[in-house]
Amino acid sequence: MTAVQNAGPTADDLAYIRFRAPDLEKMRVFLEDFGFKVMPGETEDGVPALFSRGKGGAPVIHIVEQGDPTFLGIGFKMASMESLKALSEYDGASEICEILAPGGGYRVRFEDPNGYAIDGVYGYIERAQAPPFVRQPMNTMAARLRRNSPIRLPRDKPVPVNRIGHCVLNVRSFRGSEAWFKERFGLLTSEEFYVDDKSQVVGGFLRCNRGDIPTDHHTVALVQSQQTGINHVAFEVDDWDSVMLGHDYLGSKGYKSYWGVGKHILGSQIFDYWEDPYGNVHEHFTDGDVFDESHVPTLESVDNLLGVQWGPLPPDKDL
Ligand SMILES: [Fe+2]
């Protein structure tokens, strides 16, 4: 395995996202319908909260604290305790503190240039994972691999999410935030995108650097915008059937579809976006690209960001 060359701290993945919402019961119902296992609890300050996980090993991937509705921040899973300690040396870092939430571990917290709380965490206890779901092969014109084995899918119940995949943040300055995140978390650029002219770069997809271990096409995407906030957060489901089953199920429950089902150009994911009761966009995705450190960044038109390989075009809203 190639050693990661970053001189500074390095993140391996996204760990969790944090929101605040006034009605935790309303959020609990949405989160369970979306496919989370929800655990009621309270924050370190004694505020009622929901801690949610997926089928994967991470003990918590989604946190909602009771209060006025807002996006609070995200946490990165650091590559090592040394990385967490290196992170704590940066200006503005909190002391390393113990996490008093399911899984435990240690945390460093920053306020980033947009006012988001950005955490680095390490040392939480992973859960034993269920065996990976193995999809039966598809019968195609090239090969009839599934024989004497009809498919019967479980309808009318939530589709479990596995893990948190990525989030997209609206930021005041793309270059400013790009430097801030890369310095602290060792992120690499997968693609940048421009509007009108190649000199007008307005955002980019950033991924973790795990050397020759492939990682998601993006862990964080940054989009320069007049209005800061969360654009969306994404959770990986098992496969295409899961995306479609989740789409039908969430629709049957009356939730508001934001965009999908479709297939992105940049990242190649099959995606399906839904709004939670407070308008925060949560995505189910599957079949995304994975890159190792050898991938060379490209510069893409924003048309490729917003376009699809199939499926509907995005709603007419600012990025
Ligand atoms: Fe996404």
Distance 97 CA to ligand 1 centre (A): 31
Report yes or no on 146 lying in a domain: no
SS3 state of residue 249:
helix
Distance 232 CA to ligand 1 centre (A): 7
How do 163-171 and 117-122 pair as beta strands?
Answer: unpaired
* Structural domain harbouring 45: 11-126+160-310
Distance 220 CA to ligand 1 centre (A): 9
Report yes or no on 142 lying in a domain: no
Distance 211 CA to ligand 1 centre (A): 23
Distance 52 CA to ligand 1 centre (A): 19
Distance 60 CA to ligand 1 centre (A): 19
Backbone angles phi, psi at 111, to 5 degrees: -105, 120
Tell me the residues surrounding ligand 1 (ion) with CB < 5 Å.
Answer: 234, 283
CA 1 from centroid of its chain's CA atoms? 26
Distance 314 CA to ligand 1 centre (A): 12
Distance 143 CA to ligand 1 centre (A): 32
The per-residue pLDDT string of the chain (319 residues; one tens digit each, 9 = 90 and over) reads 455 555 789 999 999 999 999 999 999 999 999 999 999 999 999 999 999 999 999 999 999 999 999 999 999 999 999 999 999 999 999 999 999 999 999 999 999 999 999 999 999 999 988 777 888 899 999 999 999 999 999 999 999 999 999 999 999 999 999 999 999 999 999 999 999 999 999 999 999 999 999 999 999 999 999 999 999 999 999 999 999 999 999 999 999 999 999 999 999 999 999 999 999 999 999 999 999 999 999 999 999 999 999 999 998 754 4
Residues 6+ apart with CB under 8 A from 179: none
DSSP state of 38: E
Report yes or no on 205 lying in a domain: yes
Backbone angles phi, psi at 88, to 5 degrees: -70, -10
State residue 247's pLDDT score: 98
For helices 24-34 and 240-252, angle between their N-to-C axes, nearest 10 degrees: 140
Report yes or no on 175 lying in a domain: yes
Distance 74 CA to ligand 1 centre (A): 15
Distance separating alpha carbons of residues 316 and 152, to the nearest angstrom: 37
Report yes or no on 238 lying in a domain: yes
E-strand stretches of 27-103: 37-42, 48-53, 62-66, 70-78, 97-98
Domain count, the chain: 1
Report yes or no on 152 lying in a domain: no
Q: Is residue 252 packed enough to be buried (19+ CB in 10 Å), middle (13-18) or exposed (0-12)?
A: exposed
Distance separating alpha carbons of residues 124 and 192, to the nearest angstrom: 33
SS3 state of residue 116:
coil
Report yes or no on 138 lying in a domain: no
> Which residue reads 């602290």 in tokens?
184
CATH number at residue 109: 3.10.180.10
Residue of 279, 109, 130, 304 whose CA lies nearest to 217: 304
